[in-house]
Amino acid sequence: MYDLTNKQMKTELHKIALITGANSGIGLACARKFAGDGYGVIVTGRSEAKLQPVVQELQKTGCNVLPLIFDVRDRQAVAEAIERLPEAWRTIDVLINNAGGAMGLEPEYEGDFDDWDTMIDSNIKGLLTMTRLIVPGMVERNRGHIINIGSVAGDAAYAGGGVYCATKAAVKSLSDGLRIDVAHTAVRVTNIKPGLVETNFSVTRFHGDEVRAAKVYDGITPLTGDDVADVALYAANAPAHVQIAEVLVLATHQASGSVVYRRN
């Protein structure tokens, strides 16, 4: 297990970002970008084995990094991890709710119950758990920033994606609602809605079928995790009086969640 006292902390922490699902994809890209900008980063993931290389990589750059091992679907585990945070890491400036994903692409009437539970518990309830545990401190300090990783899928449903699209529509509603709830404070809320991003997203959706997953990106240059992380860092670094409320980020030849021009 990791030593949460973080005895190797190199400098006093001035800014702290907590990033869920940081072992790969957009989460990993955000961890790298924020670390490079001088943030101390708290990275979370379900697997210590997968998160450890991330910690080692960031530490080599001189970044202060603290790993937390939990599944955002396990509310008790999340609460215990947050409660055990060392004093130096408790003042979280930026919360990036990234953990989650899509499972399956069957018609809704043929969907898998377990896939539905995974998406709802991760994309919605996991985000809510992190928000409920971290944001009260931001409100009390009258500063902080919540960045939710939504999706273009939250704007309109597409074939076979009804449940996933519904969870990302929920992310939009939860982001908008939270922004209203904290409007009396200096806390900011951003919803970033990426389109096609080439990560492990499609491999997970198709339960490890890498051939099928690769076809999702045929004929188009998709976004990368770095592209989305750039937007997150830009929003976080905007002047204090500026709130980047929502950003839709698409690949150049993608017009919506269901309209993509593919080169032959």
Q: Which residues are catalytic?
A: 164
Element (H, E) at 234: helix 225-236
Structure tokens at 119: 């998406």
Distance from chain centroid for Cα 148: 6
DSSP 134: H
- CA nearest 73: which of 8, 144, 121, 17? 121
Token pair for 81? 């991890």
CA distances from 186 to 37, 95, 135, 225 (A): 22, 15, 12, 28
User: CB–CB of 82/133 below 8 Å?
Assistant: yes
Q: Do residues 97 and 191 touch, judged by C-beta distance below 8 A?
A: no
- The DSSP output letter for 185 is S
Instruction: Looking at 38-197, list the stretches that DSSP marks H as alpha helix, in order from N- to C-terminal side.
Output: 48-60, 75-83, 113-119, 127-141, 162-181
CA distances to 80, 117, 122, 148 from 75, rounded to whole Å, are: 9, 15, 11, 18
Three-state SS for 264? coil
